[in-house]
Structures are given as structure tokens and as C-alpha cells.
Amino acid sequence: MGHLGAFLFLLGALGALAEICEIPEVDSRLVEKLGQRLLPWMDRLSPEHLNPSIYVGLRLSSLQAGTKEDLYLHSLKLNYQQCLLGSASSDHNSHCQTKTSTGQLGLYLLALRANCEFVGGHKGDRLVSQLKRFLEDEKRAIGEGTPSSGAHKGHPHTSYYQYGLAILALCVHQKRVHNNVVDKLLYAVEHEQHLHQGHLSVDTVAMAGLAFTCLERSHFNPNKRLQITTAIGTVQEKILRAQTPEGHFGNVYSTPLALQMLMTSSTSHLEVGTACLKAKAALLASLQNEAFQNALVISQLLPVLNRKTYIDLISPDCLAPRVMLRPATETFSLTTEIISVTLKVLSIFPPYKQSVFVLAGSSLEDVLKMAHELGGFTYETQASLSGPYLTSVMGNAAGEREFWQLLRDPDTPLLQGIADYRPKDGETIELRLVRW
Ligand code: B12
């Protein structure tokens, strides 16, 4: 090959790289730092802290936690099997505080697959039947029949995110679901107002896209093939259209799942390639700014940094070498600086507004605790895989399809929960009861 030939070949290769969603290698120290943030969570083996997503994220990453990882999977198995299979009257499941949800069972099945296990045997079959039953219940809540006769008018009990997650989990275990279960997700993706409060939830669309991709790759639901392929295209388009000027898809925390979805795309497209490169640059900047603190989001990001996605759970590589994580060396920064944060709640009568003083670097949860200690303010939280979820303020619990939204004055919804968000001096935080 002459010089010109070699040059053209190189250009072609570079062009091809920019046409698929490739994530170039990321500094391994940055990846290790992220992984280290998961380690303390892996010591929390109580039922309300166990999080199958952490296990999945680690197994699809370039990192490992040795025996800690094995113990974690063992605890997950004990907890989920007892809570799901133990009889309601037995003492076994007295610690199962809340009912396992569609999405949690889905994540547990993903964790088993991440360890190269297929659910099987008597117990495994019961878990699969349970998840299928959950999906049937969700489907009924959305509505039966044809679109003109009122189908799709309702909402799933949980969310379309969990609906997609459950289909994905069954699919990677080679378990089929009925066409009419898939239909509900297809309809929701094509009519996005059904997905989230009228505006797009990139995480939800990406999860649906991953579920469709698994069905397509596994040749499931053959009668729906055309619709599934079209929906994958729609999901891709929606994700691309949601790219912000900085490069994130939706926001910084939906970018990991969005990238997982785009990375599974088999068709090459210049638009996809360049969008992914831009997203990767934005992610790197966010990593350097320490934006990733939440264990759940980290667990969705680690696979991406290892060029893996949940679709790899169709046939996972459990022998791939992974680097052993070392615990991070603790760094303490003692601060005596006091800041003032104003807390306001207008969704109640009489409205509440109060400034509280906390140490700089305190979380919003610390602010709520302080306001409670001062008197006149009460709130309740519930443990979730993303951390403490604010369920009630001043005795007002959010009802069905309502939630207590966290905003920074005047009107900016926070991108983090109460445990992770750290208000700055002089900020006003509003807690607002809204519908979703
Ligand atoms: C659906 C959803 C919601 C629904 C939940 C209601 C429902 N019935 O499903 C609604 C719209 C109410 C919601 C609210 C919020 N959400 Co939300 N939500 C999601 C989504 C798309 C799926 C969650 C899920 O089902 N997971 C699977 C199941 C199996 O796990 P689970 O723990 O059992 O699920 C529960 C919790 O996730 C909880 N929840 C939902 N969102 C959040 C956010 C936080 C911080 C916490 C602690 C809990 C929590 O509700 C789920 C159902 O009970 C995720 C996307 C993602 N990538 O995870 C975002 C996500 C978790 N939410 C996010 C945020 C920021 C919020 C809010 C803080 C927004 C705000 N400014 O008010 C609020 C929570 C405020 C509060 N009261 O504490 C971020 C968190 C980012 C981060 N750094 O941790 C995510 C990742 C979306 C994003 N890309 O920005 N959310």
C-alpha cells in the first residue's frame, strides 16, 4: 500500500470509530476512585441497605472486591430468597421491611446473571413466575384492551423504568414475556407523555431501549420484531435529542444509562459517534468535579467506563481479569465554617420558612435534621437503592403519583437527593409537593 493508500485507510478507520458509540479508555485512577466509593456500601449487609445494582455494576466493571463481593452476593441471595419465597407467616421474612418491587426483583435477577448464573430449579422458577406476575399486575394497572377502548390510560404501579428493567432481567435469563406485556412498553416509548410527567425521562427511555435490544438480540417476540426495531430507533433518537450543550444526555446522572443504550447500537451513524464522544468529554469533566457520589449512579456508570452494558449480561464474561480494589485512604478536612441555608415549604398551610445554620459541606439531610432539632419542622424518609427518599414533610405524606420535589430557589429541581446534595451558603431550598 502506498502512502496515499495508508492515509486513506487510516482516515477510514478513524471515521468508523466516530460512527459507533465507542468510549475511549478513561484514566484508571479515576475509575478506581469511583469504585472505592462503592466499598463502604458493600459492608452494609442489612436488608434496607442491600443493593443488587452495586453488585451488577462491579461485575461489569474493570474492578473487583474479592471475597467482599462473594459475601455480598450471598447476602443478596439470602435476603431476596427469604423475602420472596419465605411464607408470609414465617419469622424468616419479618425483616423484609417493605415488599420487594418489580424493579428490585429485576435487579436481583441481573445480579445473578452478572455471576453467570441462570435462574433455575424450583426456587429460581418461583422467582421468575413472581416477576412475571408483577409485570402482569403492572400491565393491568396501565390498562387492558385497545388504545381506543381505554388501554394505556393508567400507569404502572411502580414506573415504566421498573417495567423495562423487569423485561430486561427476564430476557437476559432467556425467559420470554407475552407480546401484550411488550406492547405496553412499545406504546409508552412511542407516546412519551406516558413515561414521565409529560416530559422525557432519559433514564426511563434508555432502560426501555436496553430491554428492546435484549429482545431483538435474543430473537424473542418474533411477531413484534418490526415494532421492536422501530422502537430501538425511536429511543436512540430521543436520547440524541436530549443532549445538552455540555454533552450530557438529559442530565449528568442519566448519561450513564443513555450511553449504555447507545453503545449497544449495531448500526454506524456519524451523529451517534460524535454525540458519544461529546458525552464522554462531559462525563470526564463531571468525574473530575467529583459529581458522582451516589452508589447507585456509580453502579450504572462503571460498566460504561469498562465499555460494557447490561446487554452483556446475555452472555457475561465471568473470567475477564479485573483489578482488585484497595480501600481509599481517608482524608479528613476539618471545617469550622458555618453557613446559613433557608428551608421553605409552601405546599402546606401555614407555609414554613426558616433559616438554619450548619457546618459548611453539610448535606441537605443535615439541614433537615437541624431544622427538626430547632422545632417546628418534621419530615420522614424511606430507604431506597438511591439513598434516603423524602416521603413526608410536616405530616403530609406524598400520595400516589405525587412526590416531594427538591428545588433550589427560585425554581431549579435538584439533581441529587437529600443525602448527597450539599447546599452552599445563603441558598434557599424548597420542598414542594408535586404530581408526576
Ligand atoms: C422513577 C424515578 C423517580 C420517581 C419515583 C416514584 C416511583 N414511584 O417510581 C419520581 C418522579 C417521584 C422521582 C423523584 C426524584 N428523583 Co428520581 N428517578 C426515578 C428513576 C427514573 C427510576 C427509579 C427506580 O425505579 N429505580 C429502580 C428501583 C428498583 O429502585 P428503588 O430504589 O426501589 O426505586 C425507588 C427509588 O429510586 C426512589 N427514588 C426515585 N428517585 C429518587 C432519587 C433519590 C435521590 C432517592 C434517594 C430516591 C429516589 O423511587 C423509586 C420507587 O420507589 C431514576 C433513574 C435511575 N437511573 O435510577 C431517577 C433518579 C434516581 N432520580 C433522581 C432524582 C434527582 C430525583 C429527585 C431528587 C428529583 C428532585 N429534584 O426532587 C426526586 C426525589 C426527591 C425525594 N422526595 O427524595 C436522580 C438521582 C441522581 C443522583 N445523583 O442520585 C435519578 C438517577 C434521575 C436522574 N438522572 O437525574 N424519581
Which pLDDT belongs to residue 194? 56
In this predicted structure, the answer to whether residue 121 has a pLDDT above a threshold of 90 is no
Residue bearing the CA closest to ligand 1, atom 68: 417
Residues near 378 by beta carbon (within 8 Å), at least 6 away in sequence? 372, 393, 394, 395
Helices (H), 289-401: 295-305, 364-374
Which pLDDT belongs to residue 148? 62
Cα(151) to centroid of ligand 1, in Å? 26
Phi-psi domain of 98 (left: phi exceeds 0; alpha: psi -120 through 50; beta: other): beta
Q: Give the pLDDT confidence of 136-191 residue by residue, as tens digits.
A: 999 999 987 666 666 777 889 999 999 999 999 999 999 999 999 999 999 999 98
Which pLDDT belongs to residue 423? 98
Question: Is the alpha carbon torsion for 399, 403, 404, 409 positive or negative?
Answer: negative
Q: Give the pLDDT confidence of 49-59 residue by residue, as tens digits.
A: 999 999 999 99
CB 66 within 8 A of CB 42: no
Q: Which atom of ligand 1 is nearest to the CA of 417?
A: 45
Q: Which atom of ligand 1 is nearest to the CA of 293?
A: 83
Q: Which residues lie across from 87 on neighbouring strands?
A: none
Q: Is the overall model pTM greater than 0.85, yes or no?
A: yes
Q: Which residues lie across from 388 on neighbouring strands?
A: 383
In this predicted structure, the answer to whether residue 359 has a pLDDT above a threshold of 50 is yes
Which pLDDT belongs to residue 5? 52
Q: Which atom of ligand 1 is nearest to the CA of 197?
A: 11
Cα(327) to centroid of ligand 1, in Å? 28
Q: Best substitution site from 200, 386, 405, 433 to test ligand 1's pocket, by max atoms within 8 Å of Cβ? A: 386
Q: Which atom of ligand 1 is nearest to the CA of 381?
A: 78
Which pLDDT belongs to residue 18? 62
Instruction: Classify residue 278 by its DSSP letter.
Output: H
Residue bearing the CA closest to ligand 1, atom 28: 103
Cα(221) to centroid of ligand 1, in Å? 30
**The three cell numbers locating residue 389:** 427518599
Q: Which residues line ligand 1 (CB under 6 A)?
A: 101, 103-104, 107, 158-159, 161-162, 201, 203-204, 251, 253-254, 257, 294, 296-297, 300, 384-390, 403-406, 413-418, 420, 436
Q: Which atom of ligand 1 is nearest to the CA of 401?
A: 8
> What 3-state class would DSSP assign to 101?
coil
In this predicted structure, the answer to whether residue 40 has a pLDDT above a threshold of 80 is yes
CA atoms within 13 A on the CB side of 291: 19
Which pLDDT belongs to residue 9? 46
Cα(417) to centroid of ligand 1, in Å? 8
CB 381 within 8 A of CB 388: yes
> Residues of 256-277 as b/e, b for ≥16 C-beta within 10 angstroms?
bbbbbbbbbbeeebeebbebbb
Q: Which atom of ligand 1 is nearest to the CA of 384?
A: 32
Measured between alpha carbons, how far is 234 from 240 in angstroms, rounded to an integer? 10
In this predicted structure, the answer to whether residue 82 has a pLDDT above a threshold of 80 is yes
Measured between alpha carbons, how far is 162 from 106 in angstroms, rounded to an integer? 8
In this predicted structure, the answer to whether residue 113 has a pLDDT above a threshold of 50 is yes
Which pLDDT belongs to residue 13? 46
Cα(299) to centroid of ligand 1, in Å? 15
Cα(386) to centroid of ligand 1, in Å? 7
In this predicted structure, the answer to whether residue 12 has a pLDDT above a threshold of 50 is no
Cα(98) to centroid of ligand 1, in Å? 17
Cα(124) to centroid of ligand 1, in Å? 29
> What 3-state class would DSSP assign to 335?
coil
Q: How confident is the model at residue 334 (pLDDT cuts 50, 70, 90)?
A: confident
What are the DSSP calls for 217-266, one per residue?
HTT-SGGGHHHHHHHHHHHHHHHHHTB-TTS-BSSTTTHHHHHHHHHT--
Which pLDDT belongs to residue 330? 75
Which pLDDT belongs to residue 7? 45
Q: How confident is the model at residue 2 (pLDDT cuts 50, 70, 90)?
A: low
Q: Which atom of ligand 1 is nearest to the CA of 406?
A: 72
Instruction: Classify residue 358 by its DSSP letter.
Output: E
Measured between alpha carbons, how far is 37 from 255 in angstroms, rounded to an integer? 19
Kindly report the CA angle at 136 between 134 and 139, in degrees rounded to 5? 110
Cα(321) to centroid of ligand 1, in Å? 33
Question: Quick one: average pLDDT of 322-334?
Answer: 86
Measured between alpha carbons, how far is 348 from 341 in angstroms, rounded to an integer? 20
Across 13-22, 23-32, 149-158, 365-374, the highest mean pLDDT is recorded for 365-374
Q: Which atom of ligand 1 is nearest to the CA of 254?
A: 89
Cα(317) to centroid of ligand 1, in Å? 30
Tell me which of 289 and 111 has the higher pLDDT.
111
Measured between alpha carbons, how far is 79 from 13 in angstroms, rounded to an integer? 49
Task: Tell me the one-letter amino acid at 273.
Answer: G
Share of the chain above pLDDT 90, in %: 77
Q: How confident is the model at residue 15 (pLDDT cuts 50, 70, 90)?
A: very low
Q: Give the pLDDT confidence of 397-409 residue by residue, as tens digits.
A: 999 989 999 999 9
Cα(18) to centroid of ligand 1, in Å? 33
Q: Give the pLDDT confidence of 181-239 residue by residue, as tens digits.
A: 999 999 999 987 655 555 679 999 999 999 999 999 999 999 999 999 999 999 999 99
Q: Which helix (H) or strand (E) holds 339?
A: strand 338-345
